[in-house]
Amino acid sequence: MGLSNVKMFHDGDSITVREIAGTIDHSLLRPDITTAELVEGCALAKEYHCVSVCVRPSDLPVVARELKDSGVLVTTVAAFPHGTATTESKVFETIDAIEKGAVEVDVVMNYARFLSGEFDYVQEELARVAAAAHGRGALLKVIFENHYLTGDQIAHACRIAEKAGVDFVKTSTGYAPSGSKIEDLKIMRASVSPDIMVKSAGGVKTLDQALAVLATGTVRIGTRSTKAILEEAAQREREGKLFVRF
């Protein structure tokens, strides 16, 4: 699944509310979320036609049930949020998640090993996780946690991830001191081929922030603020003012 299957937006493009919703992975990853809140979150994602709901691994049975036949994808995380699980654990988490209904898995890169210069370790680990996902028909996103990386390191991580065979590169978990930044997204989009997609997560809370993200060529947004973003988009659409802007 490459960018040939996904619509990209550019600065100044018009965009619909439905198209914005089709880029949103509605995030339900807060550690204190209750089962009732999971059900409510799934209902919201179905109402607004989000592309997916991203949940904690233990929540997959609930969410898979709630989203069945809705067209909203089931997404989860692995080695979240620090990326320091063993390779074997990451592979197991990925397989287990897919067996429980996930069709996309967002795995956290071992950025401590990356910062240690152990690039072969990082690439081999991601390759094994990607193989586990692809062998079961799922997509793999890799979370870099860009807060801890320089621009050059982000570009290098992108190249490693592409060589490993991932489907998406992703900015952050939302649990580091900072999240998605426009400049980082530009670096990521420029550092991978058209076959690799870019996901922004962490700190996208308003419509204008979402539109600025989409203008970089990013095709997915992970956010908790789905309702606020899409309600503002609906109002702006009625006024004929809904455009992608930096």
- pLDDT tens profile 3-57: 446 889 988 889 999 999 999 999 999 999 999 999 999 999 999 999 999 999 9
DSSP string for residues in 3-65: GGGS----TT-B--HHHHHTTEEEEE--TT--HHHHHHHHHHHHHHT-SEEEE-GGGHHHHHH
Residue 63 domain flag: yes
Residue 246 domain flag: no
Among candidate residues 90, 141, 181, 199, the one labeled active-site is 199
Mean pLDDT of 93-107: 98
With a pLDDT cut of 70, the percent of the chain lying above it is 98
Say if CB 189 and CB 218 are below 8 A apart: yes
* Contacts of residue 137, Cβ cutoff 8 Å, sequence gap at least 6: 98, 103
Model confidence at 83: pLDDT above 90: yes
* Rounded alpha-carbon distances, angstroms, from residue 150 to 59, 184, 188: 34, 9, 12
Among candidate residues 106, 167, 181, 184, the one labeled active-site is 106
Q: How many CB atoms lie within 10 A of CB 32?
A: 5
For residue 134, which phi and psi values (nearest 5 degrees)?
-65, -35
Model confidence at 2: pLDDT above 60: no
* Contacts of residue 118, Cβ cutoff 8 Å, sequence gap at least 6: none
d(CA 149, CA 113): 12
Residue 243 domain flag: no
Residue 245 domain flag: no
User: How wide is the angle at C-alpha 100 spanned by C-alphas 97 and 102, nearest 5°?
Assistant: 55
pLDDT, tens digit, for every residue of 145-167?
Answer: 999 999 999 999 999 999 999 99
Mean pLDDT of 100-106: 98
Say if CB 176 and CB 147 are below 8 A apart: yes
Structural domain for 96, as ranges:
3-238
Mean pLDDT of 204-217: 96
Mean pLDDT of 183-188: 98
Tokens linked to 80: 């979240």
Residue 86 domain flag: yes
Q: Is 199 marked active-site?
A: yes
Say if CB 105 and CB 142 are below 8 A apart: no
User: What's residue 245's pLDDT?
Assistant: 79
d(CA 176, CA 166): 22
What is the pLDDT of the chain when averaged over all its residues?
96
Model confidence at 190: pLDDT above 70: yes
Q: Confidence class of residue 131 from pLDDT cuts 50, 70 and 90?
A: very high
Q: Is 167 marked active-site?
A: no
Model confidence at 1: pLDDT above 80: no
Residue 187 domain flag: yes
* Contacts of residue 68, Cβ cutoff 8 Å, sequence gap at least 6: none
Model confidence at 239: pLDDT above 60: yes
Residue 14 domain flag: yes
Among candidate residues 25, 170, 181, 184, the one labeled active-site is 170
Model confidence at 194: pLDDT above 90: yes
**The domain spanning residue 126 has which CATH number?**
3.20.20.70
Model confidence at 99: pLDDT above 90: yes
Residue 136 domain flag: yes
Domain count, the chain: 1
d(CA 182, CA 217): 11
Q: How many CB atoms lie within 10 A of CB 150?
A: 10
